[in-house]
Amino acid sequence: MIEMLTNPQTLLSVFVAIVVFATIVTLVSPMMGGSGLEGRLKSVANRREELRRRSREALAQPSVGASLRHTDEGMYKTIVDRLQLSRLLEDPKVVDKLAQAGFRGPKPVSTFYFFRFAMPFAFAVVAGFYLYVVNDFGLLPVQKIAACFVALMAGFYAPNLYISNIAQKRRESIVSAFPDALDLLLICVESGMSIEAAVAKVGAEIGGASIELAEELALLTAELSYLPERRLAYEGLAKRTNHPGVRSVVTAMIQAERYGTPLGSALRVMAKENRELRLSAAEKKAAALPAKLTVPMIVFFLPVLFIVIMGPAIIKIQDVLKHR
């Protein structure tokens, strides 16, 4: 049993099976599962009510010193504080990166530092155990040490790659539905609604196209209600999305707020520009598609095509040679 489990062919078969299963789950899950929009918007609304309750308690009991900030007293926080990982692995942009990926508060920061410290050792231990105990693949000792070092470096950068991947997918979802949200926001503003009510209305309606954008707009509504300046709320939206189109819209809204210019005209221009950006991104992907399809066509399509075309002729030639 141990020899079978440590056989490279068995491990390769298990890896292929996992990849196939993950592919099937990825293709089937959008059809089977729900969007989860109502639950996420409900969580944002619950968080808003919790902030209001804490604010009222802080005003009623100023001596207690109640705080509206999240606190983290978990195991990860304890380990990070004792080992001073925030200084050892200091990253000034970690809060912005986590916010762009949808993780907010101090708890994700502690979790990120903990895994950034633990993952290199975990990867190196797993690689060393496999090479020195299970199967060494005929490698020299220097090559084994180099492989363990590569695994250690991969573990160090794995949390950053994970956060970057989630942030990129989230940004793509937001950007794809952002021009439509601007059109809805323009209609709401020109109908006489305030900017807070318009953002809340658009956030409730845009969830079918992008849950992430609906969540960001719900957070923007809460920040517009509680922050002392609207500029801070707009800048927070730009930091969380980190996209040029969203930043340009935020700049236009801040200028309209500061100088008293009509917000409707600025939103109309920004909506047109964002639609053009979305169209140019789609054209860029379409232009790159033929180059990406070249290798799959050569590897998968051409051999099958040659078999279909030349197979009957080869069979017929073999029959003729047998009769002779």
Provide the token pair at 168.
């990129």
pLDDT per residue over 122-172, tens digit each?
988 888 888 887 777 777 888 888 888 999 999 888 888 999 999 898 888
**Interacting residues of 210 by C-beta distance below 8 A, sequence separation 6+:** 173, 174, 176, 177, 178
pLDDT per residue over 230-239, tens digit each?
888 888 888 8
11 versus 155: the higher-pLDDT residue is 155
Total residue length of the chain: 324
**Interacting residues of 190 by C-beta distance below 8 A, sequence separation 6+:** 264
Cα gap 69→107, rounded to integer Å: 12
Cα gap 168→199, rounded to integer Å: 24
Q: Is the distance from CB of 117 to CB of 89 less than 8 angstroms? A: yes
Q: Is the distance from CB of 231 to CB of 206 less than 8 angstroms? A: no
Q: What are the angstrom distances between the C-alpha of 174 and each of 48, 218, 231, 285? A: 22, 13, 21, 18
Least confident of 88-92, 162-166, 221-225, 288-292: 88-92
CA nearest neighbour of 116 among 153, 145, 171: 153
The burial of 14, by beta-carbon neighbours within 10 Å (0-12 exposed, 13-18 middle, 19 or more buried), is given as exposed
Cα gap 100→33, rounded to integer Å: 24
How confident is the model at residue 44, as a pLDDT? 61
Q: What is the mean pLDDT of residues 257-261?
A: 81
Model confidence band, residue 222 (pLDDT cutoffs 50, 70, 90): confident
How confident is the model at residue 32, as a pLDDT? 63
305 three-state secondary structure: helix
Q: What is the mean pLDDT of residues 196-203?
A: 87
State which amino acid sits at residue 261.
T
pLDDT per residue over 46-92, tens digit each?
666 766 676 666 556 544 444 445 565 667 777 777 777 777 777 77
Q: What is the mean pLDDT of residues 235-260?
A: 85
Angle formed at CA 71 by CA 70 and CA 74, multiple of 5 degrees: 135
CA nearest neighbour of 172 among 282, 44, 271, 292: 282
Q: Give percent of the chain above pLDDT 90.
A: 1
Distance, C-alpha 138 to centroid of its chain: 39
